Structure 1
Amino acid sequence: MSDSCCNTVNKIHSNKESSASISCPYDSESVNNLMFVCRGNRPSTCLQQALITSNITQNGRFRLVDERKSRIFTVTISSLTLKDSGLYLCGVQRNSGLDVFSAVQLEVKEWCCVKTIKMSGSVGRPVTFQCPSPPQHHNDTMLLCKGHPVNSCTDMMNQSRFTLQNVSPSSFSVTITKLEAGDAGTYWCRSDPEASVGNYTQFHLSVDEANHEHSDASVFALFALHAVMLVVMVLVKVYKNKCHKK
């Protein structure tokens, strides 16, 4: 008898840096039995090489939740990498006889089609993100968020300094009215309500504080120059008045 499993393989997909959930059904007789998940296709060594079991429900990036009412236990893998792609076995230990297994094929996709744009701006000045918006997404929610990874970024559209502009059938733009040093970072924009590979545009924004400081210094220098010129003019006038009296 070959050491392999199974005739049916459920396929799931997810994206790099996001999470994936492997759902494993079991029968009513196995409610109190040990449940586990391993990688590969060998039932005989699955328990010994288990990534997580129902005895220890949290193991690094792996978390197991048993939903007894629906008789399904779910293993969630967070912070996915491309190496997480592959075959996984769901196992339920039997007190007598062979353990019961089901198989899941996980495919982790790279954010291969995301457009990346590098931008720069200066403190106190505006900067605008130009976001493509395909015609089929025209009535969908438009999003600009900040942070990395994309699945945990912070929505910036409700911030007072971020304004939505120039909405058209093919694009929309978001302007930060007055840049701050803390605005530097990674931004994502999309118009599709479903987050998936290829429908984000990524921006890397750098904020130059030197120009702002240089601008302040220039204003101060100009003010100082005017003050010096005013003093010189007053001294010259005083000197002329004294000469005129003599």
Structure 2
Amino acid sequence: MKIIWTFTLLMIPGVVNSIEVTGYSGGGVKISCKYDERFTENQKYFCKWQRSDCPYQIKTNEKNKWVDSGRFSLYDDTRSAVLTVTFRDLREWDSGMYYCGAEKFITDSSTEVNLKVITDQPIRTVRGYSGGNVIINFKYETQEETSLINICKSGECFPVINTNRASEWKHDRRFSVHEGRSAGLLRVFIRELNENDSGEYKIIVKASEDHSLFSEFSLNIEKDDCVKSISLSAAAGGSVNISCKYPQSHSSDVKFLCWRSGKDGAAVLETSVNESRRWRREGKIQLYDDREERLLTGSISHVTEQHSEYWCGVQSDGGHKSFITRVLINLTENDVKFWV
């Protein structure tokens, strides 16, 4: 018994740091582990602690280059003595204690990583349509007061924006980002879609100094027979009827009509309907979804000059939204003069 106990102690890594990491099922995490500069030439590893053993998930002698093994990638930056591990396609059972560091005689110079994987509906595929927009929802937790958000397409990454605890949308080119920290939800809005936007994407959020979390998904920009823009006329203060076609593939999805201010992704005065052939009214908007005809109809009352741009769209599982048809309402000249 004494020999076994001594052996077990020797198997426990010499922990020099400990970090808490939260990830979401279907997504991934990137973890940075500092090690002693004396061990830059040693093998580097990432292992999962199981009772008295720590089986390697990935291990390498390679320096200053990425090494891949299954769901894991490892990069040993010998110049800064930092080991970076990427863990992809997380599952709930991946939760547990891990160690990463430099292997040396008897005990190791390592970082203890307590990984918690939260079950969530992962982003897999998001559909959008040329000329339209999409909103993509991403669950996350962060310890930072401000977060650096990166969006990558087909391996090319660029920073979108630094966000803070303020609730307003932040904009950069065709992208807008909104952080709902109380709900742990990041919303990414991409507008003016075109076929070149199709591809593999990754959303990366810097959650702390030690780790980032990310979600990978495919964005498919599809062709459809829907009208992209509708122009209607109405009297100020009056009502106008709308009619929007949508693709057959969205027949069972939630449909919505919303007013959107400027380039913000936030929907204002939104009304949605999730049943076929049943009227739904909310505020100044009422809607009716005929799934057999693939037609969303409705009306907007109390039309004003300020609220003149609306969008018809669909909401898929996970709350992702595709804005399909733009509806522009023009107040007739005579009616405008009358009300003025």
The TM-score, its normalising length taken from structure 2, stands at: 0.37
- Determine which structure has more spread, i.e. the larger CA radius of gyration: 1
- Higher relative contact order at CA 8 Å, sep ≥6: structure 1 or structure 2? 1
- Structure number with the higher helix fraction is 1
